[in-house]
Amino acid sequence: MERETDKAHLEKSTYKSEIRRQILSMRDKLEPQTKAQYDKAIREQVFAHPLYQESQIILAYASYRSEVDTSEMIRQALADGKYVFVPKVSGPEMEFWQITSPADLHRGYKGIPEPAAHVSFPEWRKQAVCRIDSSYQKTQYRAMMWMPGAVFDRKRHRIGYGRGFYDRYLGRLYGEAGERKMLLTTAALAYLCQLVEELPCEAHDVKPDLVITEAGIIS
């Protein structure tokens, strides 16, 4: 039985690696003009979504290579007065750090833009739960996370880039004890060419709440 389980796991892992390679190759081949049009369509859907408009916090990713471009989205979120955080990798783990300007991003892990380590998201949250509004009530913050990824399916299952950063990070975030002072919506940004009908999934995989493509939103 153990050998059968190991074999099934190996087959699933091999399939994930192959489908990731195929889909990323397709994404890399998008024409620049077409990609720019898709980026604009995705950007407009994000900004029009009520959950973006209601969120005070944006956990963004700094786009790299052929990913859905977030540079303009980050600028707009900052202009909209959102608290914006971007991930930085340290060893096997990832943490989000606050930025106040796109100029805070610099070349980091594997060339991906990363923020300077000033105020981490956990540090910010500790400070935030102590804040009170004009009615002397503790503020319940709403956040939207923009997630990258390689492949998605119609049920919102996700294959990342193979390192598991987002699965582990969200596992920790969702597993925190005590009362949560924040409502979180996870929104994966992807092109339609990154969607397949069905993907294998595992217990530790975290599904995004939304998958936003140039053609619409899967929820």
Q: Is residue 90 predicted with pLDDT exceeding 70?
A: yes
Residue 2 phi, psi dihedral angles, 5° rounding = -65, -40
Is residue 83 a contact partner of residue 115, using CB atoms and an 8 Å limit? no
Q: Is residue 208 predicted with pLDDT exceeding 60?
A: yes
Structure token digits, residue 86: 């971007």
- How far is 123 from 98, CA to CA, in rounded Å? 10
Is residue 140 a contact partner of residue 181, using CB atoms and an 8 Å limit? yes
Matching residue, tokens 């699965």: 167
Q: Tens of pLDDT along 138-149?
A: 567 899 999 999
- How far is 209 from 107, CA to CA, in rounded Å? 29
Is residue 129 a contact partner of residue 182, using CB atoms and an 8 Å limit? no
CB proximity list for 201: less than 8 A, separation 6 or greater: 157, 207
Lowest mean per-residue pLDDT among 92-96, 133-137, 192-196, 201-205: 133-137
Structure token digits, residue 67: 């990913």
Structure token digits, residue 41: 């369509």
Label residue 134 by pLDDT band (50, 70, 90).
Answer: low
Give the pLDDT of residue 6: 47
Beta bridge partners of 83: 57
Domains for the chain: give ranges and CATH numbers.
Answer: 30-185 (3.40.50.10420)
Residue 89 phi, psi dihedral angles, 5° rounding = -90, 135
Give the pLDDT of residue 63: 97
- How far is 174 from 112, CA to CA, in rounded Å? 26
Q: Tens of pLDDT along 187-206?
A: 999 999 999 999 987 766 78
Average pLDDT over residues 52-76: 97
DSSP string, 73-103: HHHHHHHTT-EEEEEEEETTEEEEEEESSGG
